[in-house]
Structure 1
C-alpha cells in the first residue's frame, strides 16, 4: 500500500510549534539553579535592559553568551596538539576573542575570571550520537562535558525543542544537531509525533515503500530536522532482535539518502553486519553508527567517500554489563570485534567521531567514549580529536566547536590531569563552560 500524496506540514507552522515547545521545555528548568533563573526570568523589578532581553527571548531571539576569562590553566589545542602553559582564554559574548600564554593576551578590565591554575583546559567535547528527550538529560550532557552534540533521534521531536532550548539558555543544553524521528520499518507510537505521519499506521508492511520512506524524511525536514537517522540492521539492545538481520535494502537506503539530499541534509545509519554496512555506505550515508562487523572493503569505501564512523563503543560496552544474559553475551562478543574495527578504520584513514548513544534517562560521559577509542588503539591526541575537531567537522561545526581559538564558541572543560597521559580524566571534568558561562 502506498502513502497518499499529501504534502508535509509547512516549516513555518511547525517551527512555531517547535519554539512553543522549547519555551515550555525551558520552563521546566525553573528549579535548575541560577543559570536557569537568569536565562529567562522577568519580574516587576527587572531593569529596562533585562526587560528588553526577556522580550527578545520571548520573540525567539537567541541568548547572548557570557563574558569570561579562563586564566592560568594548561591549554590543549586538539587541532595542532600544541600545549600552552599558564594560558588565558578570553570569551566575549560567548565567543573566544583570544587564547594564548598569559601576558601575550589582552584581558578586558572588569572581566569575570575563572581560575584554572593546575587544570588542563580543553574545548567542550562533542557527542556525535546521543538521544536527548528531556531537559534533565540535556543539562546532564553539558555537565558531563558535551557542549555540542548530534541527536540519534527521539520519539516525538523532543530533540528539536532541546536544540531551541540551547539557543535561548546555552548552559542548559548542548548545541545540537537534531534528527527528529527515526526512519525505521515499525514506527510504533511515533506515528503520533505528527499528524502527517498517522497514515503510515495502516501500512501492513510498515515504512518500506519509496513513498513511505520519503514521507518520514519529508515530515522530519518540515519539522526542522538537521539530519536524518535510519537503520540497516535490527537493534543489538533488544534481546528478541537479531542485530545481523537486515531491515532495509540498498535501494531503500538510497531512497532515504536521496530524499534527505534534496534538502541538503545528511543521513546517519545504524548498522552491524558487513553487508548492511556496505549497502548503507554505498547508498551515500554521511556516517555509519555502531558498525561492529564492518569489513575492510567497506572501510576503504568509507575513506574514499569521506564517510564517518561513529562506533558508540560506550553503548556496546554497556551491553556486556546487562543483567539480560543474551545482551551480556552480545556485548562481550561484539566489543572486541568493534574495537578491532575502530583500529582498522583509524589505520586506513577513515574519519572517526565519538558518540555515546546515551538514551533512556542515563547520559554517559562523552569522555568515556574517548577513553574507549584510546583503548581500541588510537593515540591519546587522536582519540581526543574524535570528540573535538573530528566530531565538529561531522556536525558541520568545524569553525565553531572543537577548539579554543579566536572566533570559536566559548565552550570549555577543565580537567584534573593531563589527558595526553591519562585520557580517563576526560570522564569527569572538574569544570564546564558553555558559551562563556560557568555551568
Structure 2
C-alpha cells in the first residue's frame, strides 16, 4: 500500500511549538514560553529571539592559568588564558599575549588542562535530565541518533535557550525503520503508515517518514540497514533495507538539504549504505576493506560507537555477552583500518535509555584501538565538528569559536582516561 494519496506533511515546526516542547522537558514552561505577540509560524532563530526580547545569551568568563591544548594543531600552551564574552571566545593563548577585561569573572584552571568541549556524534537524548548529564560529562555538542517522539527537536531548542542544560545539538527526529511501533504516534502525519501491512518499506513510505522529519525541523536523517546488536532476539547481520531503499532515503533527505546517518553491521549492509550516499556509517563492526576504500573516496564518516558494544560484555544474557566479546575486537580493528586509510573517524557513545556514557570513554577506546592520543581526541573535537557542520564553531578554543570547554585534572596526552571525568565544564561561557 502506498501513501502518496495522503496530503503532504504540514510544517508545524513553529517557534511557539518548539519552545513549548523544550519547556515541558525542562519543567520550566513559564521561563521558556514564547514572547507575547511573536509570530506563531516563524522558526526560532537568534535574530527573531532578539526581536522578541527573549534572546539567549552566553556568559562572560575568563579561564585562567591552565594548560591549553589545541586539538587542531596539537599545540600545548602552559599558563594560558581564555577570554569568553557573550558565550564566544574572544582571545586564547599565553598570559603575556592575552588582555583580560577588568572585572571579569575568573575560573581558576591552575594545575589543570583545558580543552574545547567535546562532541558526542551519536547519542539519544530523550529527557532534559539526560541532556544535562551529557553536558556534565563533557559533551557540550552532540548529534542525535534519533528519539521516539521528537524529543531531540525540543532538546535542541532547550540548548539554545539555556545552554548549560543541554549540548548544542543536531537533531535527527525519528528513526526511518521498517517498524515504527509507537513512534507512529509521534506526529499525525505519520499515522497513515499504520495501514501498511509490511511497514515502512515502499519508496512512498520511506519518503513520507523523511518528509515528516524535515517538516518537524530535523537537522539530519537516521536510518538503518541491519537489525540491532543490543537485542538478543535480533540478528545484527540481517539486512532490513536494500541499496535501492537506502537510496530513496538518501535522495529524500538530500532534497531537504540534509545528510543521513545509517545504523549498520554487516559488510554488505555497510557497502550498500555507503554506495547509496549516506553521510556517516554508525557501528559498522564488520565493515570491509572495499567499503572503507569507498568511504575514503566519498568522504563518508565512521562512528564506531565502541562503548556501546563494550557495554554488552558481562551481560546476564549470554547472547549479548558473546556478541560484545566477538564484536569489540572487530570494531577496534575496523576503526584502526579506517584511520590508517584516511576515513574520517568520530566518537559517539550511542547512549540511550537514561544511561549516559561519558564521551571520554569512547575517546579512550579509540586510543586503545591504535590511534594516537591526539588523533583519538580529534575524533570528538575537530573531526566531529566537521561532521556536524560546526567546524568554525566547536572543536577548538580559538578566537570566534564557542566558549565551550572542559577542564581535566591531568595531561590527556599522557593519560587519556582523564577525559572521562572532567573536573569542570564550561558551556557557552557558563561554568556548569
Same fold (TM over 0.5): yes
Tell me which residue corresponds to 1:175.
168
Q: Is the 8 A contact 2:6 2:192 kept in 1?
A: no
1:332 equivalent among 321, 325, 333: 325
Tell me which residue corresponds to 1:365.
358
Tell me which residue corresponds to 2:43.
none
Q: Residues 100 and 58 (structure 1 numbering): CA distance in 2 closer, same or farther, change over 3 Å?
A: same
User: What's the CA shift for 1:29?
Assistant: 9.5
2:193 equivalent among 200, 203, 222: 200
Q: Is the 8 A contact 1:62 1:167 kept in 2?
A: no
Q: How does 1:101-250 map to 2 (within 5 A)?
A: 101-250=94-243
Q: Residues 84 and 411 (structure 1 numbering): CA distance in 2 closer, same or farther, change over 3 Å?
A: same
Cα distance in 2 between the residues matched to 1:149 and 1:8: 30
Tell me which residue corresponds to 1:392.
385
User: How many equivalent pairs are there?
Assistant: 420
Q: Residues 187 and 57 (structure 1 numbering): CA distance in 2 closer, same or farther, change over 3 Å?
A: farther
User: What's the CA shift for 1:13?
Assistant: 5.3
Q: Is the 8 A contact 1:28 1:135 kept in 2?
A: no
Describe the SS at the equivalent of 1:103. Answer: helix
Deviations along 1:11-40, one digit per CA (max 9) or x if unpaired, are 35555422221122233599xxxxxx9x99
Tell me which residue corresponds to 1:26.
26
Tell me which residue corresponds to 1:315.
308
> What TM-score do you get using the length of structure 1 for normalisation?
0.93
Cα distance in 1 between the residues matched to 2:247 and 2:89: 40
Q: Does 1:76 align with 2:62?
A: no
1:404 equivalent among 385, 397, 421: 397
Q: Is the 8 A contact 1:29 1:135 kept in 2?
A: no
Tell me which residue corresponds to 2:86.
93
**Coordinate RMSD, CA, aligned:** 1.9
Q: Is the 8 A contact 2:139 2:167 kept in 1?
A: yes
Cα distance in 1 between the residues matched to 2:200 and 2:69: 46
Cα distance in 2 between the residues matched to 1:58 and 1:155: 33
User: What's the CA shift for 1:323?
Assistant: 1.4
Q: Is the 8 A contact 1:57 1:168 kept in 2?
A: no
Deviations along 1:280-330, one digit per CA (max 9) or x if unpaired, are 000000000000000000000000000000000010000113211111110
Cα distance in 1 between the residues matched to 2:81 and 2:399: 12
Cα distance in 2 between the residues matched to 1:113 and 1:218: 47
Tell me which residue corresponds to 1:45.
none
Deviations along 1:188-213, one digit per CA (max 9) or x if unpaired, are 00000000000111111100000000
> What TM-score do you get using the length of structure 2 for normalisation?
0.94
Q: Residues 75 and 163 (structure 1 numbering): CA distance in 2 closer, same or farther, change over 3 Å?
A: same
Q: Residues 57 and 363 (structure 1 numbering): CA distance in 2 closer, same or farther, change over 3 Å?
A: farther
